[in-house]
Amino acid sequence: MKKIILFFSISTIYYTGYSQDKNGISVIPQPVSVSLQKGQFVLNNQTYIIGENKASSDIASLLAVMLNQSFGFPVSKKQTASNEIVLHINNRTDSTLGNEGYTMNISSKKIVLSANKPQGLFYGIQTLMQLLPPSNGNAQTKNISYKIPCVTITDYPRFVYRGMMLDVSRHFFSKEFVKKYIDEMAKYKFNVFHWHLTDDQGWRIEIKGLPELTNIGAWRVARTGKWGTFEMPQAGEKATDGGYYTQDDIREIVKYAKQRFIDILPEIDVPAHSLALIASYPNLSCTKEQYSVSPQYIPDSVDDVLCVANDSTWIILDKIFTQVAQLFPYGYVHTGGDEANRNFWMKDAKDIALMKKEGITKPSELQSYFEKRLEKLIVSKGKKMIGWDEIVEGGLAPEAVVMSWRGKKGGIEAAKMGHKVIMTPILETYLSRKQGDPSVEPFGPGLLPLRTCYQFEPVPEGIDPKLIMGGQASTWTEKIPNYRHLEYMTWPRAMAISEVLWSPKFYRNWDDFALRAERHFEYLDADSVKYSKSMYDPIITAVKGKDDSMKIKLTNEMPGLTIYYTFDGTDPDNFYPVYSGVPLQIPKGASEIRAVSYKSGRLIGRQINYLLSDLKKNLEKTRN
């Protein structure tokens, strides 16, 4: 038995101040089964960690590092323990747990963590870390011991695919930031990092033998401000904004993710969203025009679609996907397929001739031809193909997996055809959408509150659950220019989606989740992760009264808050009228309403102001 030993040099101080729920734990995602027992395990100078074989010893070492980083506990080679943490790989496979499940039994003297595979142990230690209080890693905390409730947990995921997508084309994020993103994913048991590497605004992956992809395609003119208002590249203006990952960078990140049991799904978006590729090699488009990489959305007059009938298209795609397949060990490659402006094909003599030769009558069928040919190329590299739901149109490639983003319709259609599906519907999982009231949120498209993320259900009614691989939180970065804002847009909504994808559906309880998410804000604070507190903000809506007059309704996503309001144009606090739950009659002469939320007598969240005329317009829209 190989032993990894942790030694804690401490006094007799006990840390018990961390708030926990009525069951003694605040774990996200919620475990399958939790049974709270009497007593507590004390992490102290008598505690050591045992990994019973090579696989479990590696996870034991990782746990030792995590505890050291979080609490300043040093690792010692001297065994002086009277209590222990044992990590165990099952000798006989437990079919209930599968590859990613685990059991954890915590008594006053021992923690035993068991799993069929190392990844199960890894997810178990994520849960164990959530049974401990948050810490900022201050070395002074090494003289404090920590109590963990005695509990028995059985846990395993609902879905095999639990993804988060990051678009690094619209704004480039460094290797170090990508690693930090992966670290945060791992804490909430996500297991696939969907890496959107190419688009109209930048090419981010080095391809040997195609130097222009990173010399030209990775760079655009610098612009700062509100996306969609930028001036297009001017004559002679240098392209200085951007970046790319070398193949060594990618290997390093792939290895880093694998150590955290996260697979990386690379995306090379074709045939559309290919302006960075076309800017590098203009002969790949139908127009053959020389374009610049765009700093924002492109006009319809710009051809960002690969010419299907062009031999050069397939020569370059073969070179690209050969290297992509070699760099990424995951069994799938994402090939995009969304939002193709097929009008350019219909003006190209080669594409028209190809359509006539193949008996193709519709542009959507020409894209289907492209996708089926591309799938054969992907399969020849030893991979399977994933594409956005547009690839369903015109006929689906034989073995393709569909990632449904325009709602669930495309996924439903694909599943009915017997294809596997990953759900990431825009109105439920797109973290690039605003998460709170637009009047106080940073610039962004649409609205996706935390509660809506939590209500996301990946399996549509009437569809075989076996065909739904899982789901994904997707973040497009047109309006996310830096990493701090990326964090703000990600958390806590990604927590909600993690629970949807891991925990049993019948455990779904919004009020319980909201309280656990609030406690996880302490972990985010300790890790200096930026996040949104929009769940505390008042939600102001207009409703129709019985007398057909407009009344005002005030609510919160977070349960247990008190809302104070005013109609007189002054800023409310807890000395103002309190909302009782009954829609408010508007006083004569009032032109606006202002509201704030309090919790336990303390101001929490942001003040929301609304002109009554705007609320009336919103009400009229809902009536129509």
Give me the residues of the chain with pLDDT under 70, please: 1-24, 45, 73-82, 136-143, 622-624
In a domain, 423, yes or no: yes
**444 shares a domain with 322:** yes
CA proximity to 306, closest of 325, 280, 334, 327: 280
CA proximity to 129, closest of 186, 52, 88: 186
**568 shares a domain with 427:** no
Q: For the chain, what percentages of helix, strand and coil (3-state, to nearest 5) are there?
A: 30, 25, 45
**131 shares a domain with 79:** yes
At 608, which CATH number? Answer: 2.60.40
What would the pLDDT profile of 113-139 be if each residue is shown by its tens digit?
Answer: 999 999 999 999 999 999 999 875 554
Which regions of 75-201 does DSSP assign to beta strands (E)?
83-89, 102-106, 110-115, 145-155, 161-167, 192-196, 198-199
At 128, which CATH number? Answer: 3.30.379.10
The confidence score (pLDDT) of residue 69 equals: 83
**131 shares a domain with 197:** no
**197 shares a domain with 66:** no
Long-range contacts of 245-254 (CB under 8 A, 24+ apart): 245/175, 245/197, 245/204, 245/205, 245/206, 246/206, 247/206, 247/208, 247/323, 247/327, 249/175, 250/205, 250/206, 250/327, 250/328, 251/327, 252/175, 253/175, 253/178, 253/179, 253/182, 254/327, 254/328, 254/329
Q: Per the structure, how many domains does the chain have?
A: 3
Domain C-terminal end among 436, 469, 497:
497
User: Do residues 429 and 475 make contact, with C-beta atoms less than 8 angstroms apart?
Assistant: no
> What global pTM score does this model have?
0.94
Of 199, 200, 389, 441, the active-site residue reads 199
The confidence score (pLDDT) of residue 52 equals: 85
**144 shares a domain with 29:** yes
**37 shares a domain with 119:** yes
**254 shares a domain with 289:** yes
**76 shares a domain with 216:** no
**542 shares a domain with 401:** no
In a domain, 428, yes or no: yes
**295 shares a domain with 196:** yes
Q: Is 199 a catalytic residue?
A: yes
In a domain, 465, yes or no: yes
At 226, which CATH number? Answer: 3.20.20.80
**77 shares a domain with 53:** yes
Of 237, 248, 339, 511, the active-site residue reads 339
Of 171, 194, 196, 273, the active-site residue reads 273
- Give me the domain span that covers residue 557: 537-623
Q: Is 88 a catalytic residue?
A: no
Q: Is 487 a catalytic residue?
A: no
In a domain, 525, yes or no: no
